[in-house]
Amino acid sequence: MTVDLVTIFPAMIEPTRVTGVVGRAIERRTLDVKVHDLRDFTTDRHRVVDDVPYGGGPGMVLKPEPLFRALDAIEAVREGPLTVVLTSPQGTRFTQAEAQRLSRVDHLVLLCGRYEGVDERVRERVTEEISIGDYVLSGGELPALVILDAVARLVPGVVGDEQSVAEDSFSRGLLDFPQYTRPAEVIAPGADPSGSPTLKVPDVLLSGHHGDIRRWRKRQALTRTLARRPDLLATADLDDEERAILRELKGARDGRD
Ligand code: J9Q
């Protein structure tokens, strides 16, 4: 997969290009990520990328021509159709399902908008407009990085264990179960170390009973999802055992009121 990211702040993208899962995929050439500085597509001495809005009002709007020239340059290099994503608060919400869909395109272009906006005519060249959530940001760089990370993980070969990507609880529409690592017992932070309570890993995880561990994790994931994100349960992909546990948990909950 190729990703071309167009931004006025290339330095914001660089750490992601060289770090972690995305950085490793680029090194191995499973992923090709090019960052384009929008100012390189200006033609004036001062490399101006924005201007005042027609009709007046606060803030500056990204000019259309530098973005058109950037898209022309990307089209000239990549063969085949481009999926051009504009990150903006007006977009449709980015979800894991959207990440899955985008992970199947060959050439992705991420245009980073600005808080004040992008000239409306740029949308002529945009395939889709995506928002990562309802909050005010200064620009589309962080949303573009969120999309890049979520999409890249789903490209075959980027994350080693394909199984764990597919089985990732969020992919199945559930929150994760609690995780623990060594040691099996730690002194409670801030507590008196002499005869003070300790924080223990649940016994079942140390038991070696794999069936019990699997059922405990299912119950924990469902308990958490029911408590924190009950909205997810409407569309979660549950097996028979999980449906039975959920009925039981809901029964216990209703029994209390
Ligand atoms: C460009 N707030 O916010 C949430 N998803 C995208 C955005 C965004 C923003 C400002 C500029 C994108």
Q: What is the pLDDT of residue 219?
A: 98
> Region 2-26: what's the mean pLDDT?
98
Q: What is the DSSP string of 183-202?
A: -SEEEPTTS-SSS--EEE--
Q: What is the pLDDT of residue 210?
A: 98
Q: Is the CB of 59 under 6 A from ligand 1?
A: no
> Region 108-116: what's the mean pLDDT?
94
CA of 130 to the centre of ligand 1 (A): 8
Q: Is the CB of 143 under 6 A from ligand 1?
A: yes
Pocket test for ligand 1, best of 67, 131, 141 (most atoms within 8 A of CB): 131
Pocket test for ligand 1, best of 87, 115, 141, 142 (most atoms within 8 A of CB): 87
Q: What is the pLDDT of residue 192?
A: 66
Closest CA to 90 of 151, 37, 134, 141: 134
Minimum mean pLDDT among 2-6, 9-13, 42-46, 163-167: which range?
163-167
Residue 7, by phi and psi: left (phi above 0), alpha (psi -120 to 50) or beta? beta
**Given a cut of 70, is residue 163 above it in pLDDT?**
no
**Given a cut of 60, is residue 72 above it in pLDDT?**
yes
Q: Is the CB of 173 under 6 A from ligand 1?
A: no
User: Of 14 and 161, which is predicted with more confidence?
Assistant: 14
User: Of 1 and 192, which is predicted with more confidence?
Assistant: 1
Whole-angstrom Cα distance, residue 18 to residue 221? 34
Q: Is the CB of 140 under 6 A from ligand 1?
A: yes
Q: Which band of pLDDT confidence, cut at 50, 70 and 90, is reported for residue 115? A: confident
What is the DSSP pairing of strand 107-112 with strand 83-93?
parallel
Percent above pLDDT 70 for the chain = 97
CA of 148 to the centre of ligand 1 (A): 15
Q: Is the CB of 117 under 6 A from ligand 1?
A: no
Closest atom of ligand 1 to 112 CA is 1
Q: What is the pLDDT of residue 102?
A: 98
Q: What is the pLDDT of residue 201?
A: 98
> Region 88-108: what's the mean pLDDT?
98
Q: Sheet holding 83-93: strands in order across?
A: 32-37, 2-7, 107-112, 83-93, 128-131
Q: Is the CB of 89 under 6 A from ligand 1?
A: yes
> Region 60-64: what's the mean pLDDT?
98
**Given a cut of 80, is residue 193 above it in pLDDT?**
no
CA of 111 to the centre of ligand 1 (A): 11
Q: Which band of pLDDT confidence, cut at 50, 70 and 90, is reported for residue 171? A: confident
3-state SS track over 213-235 = HHHHHHHHHHHHHHHHCHHHHHC
> Region 178-196: what's the mean pLDDT?
86
Whole-angstrom Cα distance, residue 118 to residue 108? 19
Q: Which band of pLDDT confidence, cut at 50, 70 and 90, is reported for residue 167? A: low
Q: 217-255 pLDDT, tens per residue?
A: 999 999 999 999 999 999 999 999 999 999 999 999 888
CA of 13 to the centre of ligand 1 (A): 16
The count of other CB atoms within 10 Å of the CB of residue 150 is 18
Closest CA to 154 of 21, 34, 26: 21
